[in-house]
Chains A and B, each alone.
Chain A
Amino acid sequence: MNTETLNQNLTATHEAHQTRGAKALFGFWTYIMSDVLLFGAIFASYAVLHDNIFGGPSAKELFSMPFVLVETLVLLASSFTFGLASLHAHHHAEGRNCIPKVVKWLGITFLLGAVFLGMELFEFAKLLEEGNGWQRSGFLSAFFTLVGTHGLHVTAGLIWMGSVTAQVVRHGITERTINKISTLGLFWHFLDIVWIFIFTFVYLMGAI
Chain B
Amino acid sequence: MDTNDFKIIDEEYEAGRLALRSYVTGFVLSIILTLIPYFIVVNKMFGVQSMVVAIVLFGVTQLFVQVVFFLHLHKKFKPKWNMVIFTFTVLIVSILVVGTLWIMSNLNYNTMHRTPATLNEGYIPQ
Q: Which residues of A contact B (CB under 8 A)?
A: 15, 18-19, 22-23, 25-26, 29-30, 33-34, 36-37, 40-41, 43-45, 47-48, 65, 69, 72-73, 76-77, 79-80, 83-84, 86-87, 90-91, 93-94, 182, 186, 189, 192-193, 196-197, 199-201, 204-205, 207-208
**Can you list 25 residue pairs at the A/B interface with Cβ under 8 Å?**
A19-B6, A22-B8, A25-B9, A26-B81, A26-B82, A33-B88, A34-B89, A37-B92, A40-B93, A41-B96, A45-B100, A48-B104, A69-B34, A69-B38, A80-B23, A83-B19, A87-B23, A90-B14, A90-B19, A93-B11, A94-B15, A196-B63, A197-B63, A200-B59, A205-B52
Q: From DSSP, what is the main secondary structure of chain A's interface residues? A: helix
Across-interface contacts of A76 in B (CB, < 8 A): 27, 30-31, 34
Report the interface size class on chain B: 35 or more
B85 within 8 A of A: yes
Given contacts A22-B7, A83-B23, A73 and B100 within 8 Å (CB-CB):
no
B119 within 8 A of A: no
A44/B97 in contact, CB under 8 A? yes
A37/B23 in contact, CB under 8 A? no
Given contacts A26-B6, A29-B85, A207 and B34 within 8 Å (CB-CB):
no
